[in-house]
Structure 1
């Protein structure tokens, strides 16, 4: 049995009812036993999601690998043809357009492979706040002027194991998604850092430990409940055709799998979305 708390969270209860009869077989009482099974339901749901994403990642990674081999052959031959066509402007122009399309396809393949397997990037101790500041500074010029960027990223201790490019990519993908969710209206994008101790009571579906939480919040249109379970799938997008590949959140999911991070999403249609990225904290020396 599912109930909804005042704060919007769900509680699952196992309800057992058993009648008590008197000597004549008449029901005189009913024994009701209730047990909170919310933790078990969340763990089961998380396991199903993890298995589904792993299967999708394996499939997508295999296809992308084969496609990449074909693509490289096409691009090498295009580059070779370009060198041979120095004098024919029209042919060169067509070949250059083909090569640009090949580079875009190669970038997409890299994103799929990031989702499907480890990128092999070296993990080093790094301060999240420094990378976030740098990322936001670079990102600011590419965001619409109608999006106000706020940041609350001052922490005394915020060291995690990751590659700098991991954090850059997470920030870029989440902030780009947030800006798209805000659309042409004026809106606020807030990036913040906080610290939390995860235990079985407050975060039952996250391995216990100390975490740095990177939160990206927007005042956009929100995510519909019926698609929430699919937003991290490769190529799934609610954007109009031609406005996105559907790989942004899939790449974030792949990176977090590599660095043992977790993502939680809070959203309400019409009121915006918050992505909370849980990064295992390490002790600074």
Structure 2
């Protein structure tokens, strides 16, 4: 009652309430300002954390790519070292094996020359020749597969490589897997490296084999020529219009799930158990095909197998036809210096050349052969020499004799050589290059061509 009747007291209380109200307002504004500041700091921190997370994720992805690339390079290095060792071993075996084949081939051909063409013995000897041809082709296929040269993309006939690869595959397939070849009688030339083409077919067929190893099935290899037009861009968006060799490898195996179909070309990705492969087969095939200007596509349904389609550009170049004659080209008494470090091959070579009508001087040492030639360079019309010999190679002997007598035709023979091929031999002035084992017809034609084009 007293406070109510005391105006000064009331005014004092009202002033105090006003002060408290203003202080509360200032406190509220400070709180809201601090809260807003905290929100801004929180937003900034969240943005920084998000940016850092993105940066870390990108760095982690880059690190994973670097790790994957390093693993790929390390694996490729190991594979290259392994293949180099295999190539060296295969080269040594090929050299010796081709020398053995040369002896079998040479004696068989001479035996056939002494045998009545209508006799059973002649036919049996003919079968021996066919076996020698198959053995020679097999050795060349092994060398092609194991060689470590840079890819030599050039026009080649794909049909022999496809047929030989299927032969090699057939021997390694279990009885539960049937292989069906749908190859036409003829195929046009394609731009490819022979070893790479062989590797593509082998890798695709090996994958198909692994997909059927438990259940069995059918492996189909087919080839045909197709024409792509501008309307076919959806069918093959990576290819230009033109003619292509379409190679198809199909299996009836387990198939590939849709969620992994887009990853089958990634390095190290594999649907097989680790023991069955390193996951590089399709990645390697993909790289080879694209380096050759082609395309590769996979169609698959889980549980119903897979079909891989490879397209390679066709070359509009006709393969030169071989000249067919009635028999080996005969000589006219020309004098030939024949050099080989294998005594058996020297003996065969001398008999074969004498039967063809040539005069022959033989040596088993390139150094001795050079001394004989140096004594009378005009005595000889042609030199036939092996490449791989002790002390002096065939190319060095060729250089020496052509220094003594420029324009002298030289034919180089080789069972296997990592350092020289037909093109390099021609660059060295060598008139002919023959791979052992050498058939009598091939030898006689090479001699006649060399002598007919000899410098006057």
Q: Provide the TM-score with structure 2 as the length reference.
A: 0.38
Give the alignment's Cα RMSD to 1 decimal: 2.8
Q: 2:161 is matched with which residue: 112, 115, 131?
A: 131
Cα 1:202/1:179, change in 2 over 3 Å? same
Q: Deviations over 1:50-89 (max 9, x none)?
A: xxxxxx79973796169849x98xxxxxxxxxxxxxxxxx
Q: 1:263 is matched with which residue: 296, 299, 315?
A: 296
The separation in 2 between residues aligned to 1:61 and 1:245, in whole angstroms, is 15
Q: How does 1:57-76 map to 2 (within 5 A)?
A: 60=69, 64=73, 68=77
Cα 1:153/1:258, change in 2 over 3 Å? same
The separation in 2 between residues aligned to 1:57 and 1:191, in whole angstroms, is 37
Higher-strand-fraction structure: 1
Counterpart check, 1:284 vs 2:317: yes
Aligned length: 184
Asked if the contact 2:159/2:187 (under 8 Å) is kept, the reply is no
**Runs (4+) of structure 1 moved beyond 6 Å?**
56-59
Which residue number in structure 2 is paired with residue 189 of structure 1? 219
Which residue number in structure 2 is paired with residue 13 of structure 1? none
| Partner secondary structure for residue 285 of structure 2 | helix
Q: Which is further off, 143-152 or 156-165?
A: 156-165
Counterpart check, 1:160 vs 2:169: no
Q: Which residues of structure 2 form unaligned runs of 5+?
A: 1-64, 82-148, 319-456
The separation in 1 between residues aligned to 2:278 and 2:154, in whole angstroms, is 30
Asked if the contact 1:143/1:176 (under 8 Å) is kept, the reply is no
Which residue number in structure 2 is paired with residue 217 of structure 1? 250
| Partner secondary structure for residue 150 of structure 1 | strand
Q: Provide the TM-score with structure 1 as the length reference.
A: 0.59
Which residue number in structure 1 is paired with residue 270 of structure 2? 237
| Partner secondary structure for residue 275 of structure 2 | coil
| Partner secondary structure for residue 276 of structure 2 | coil
Which residue number in structure 1 is paired with residue 202 of structure 2? 172
Q: Which residues of structure 1 form unaligned runs of 5+?
A: 1-55, 73-118
Asked if the contact 1:144/1:179 (under 8 Å) is kept, the reply is no
Cα 1:63/1:180, change in 2 over 3 Å? closer
The separation in 2 between residues aligned to 1:147 and 1:185, in whole angstroms, is 9
Q: 2:308 is matched with which residue: 243, 260, 275?
A: 275
Cα 1:200/1:65, change in 2 over 3 Å? same
Asked if the contact 1:157/1:284 (under 8 Å) is kept, the reply is no
Cα 1:63/1:235, change in 2 over 3 Å? closer
Greater relative contact order (Cα 8 A, min sep 6): structure 1 or 2?
Answer: 1
Q: How much has 1:201 moved relative to structure 2?
A: 2.2
Larger Rg: 2
The separation in 1 between residues aligned to 2:274 and 2:302, in whole angstroms, is 21
Counterpart check, 1:250 vs 2:283: yes
Q: Which is further off, 230-239 or 152-161?
A: 152-161
Higher-helix-fraction structure: 2
Q: Deviations over 1:107-158 (max 9, x none)?
A: xxxxxxxxxxxx8311121111111001111121122221100001115332
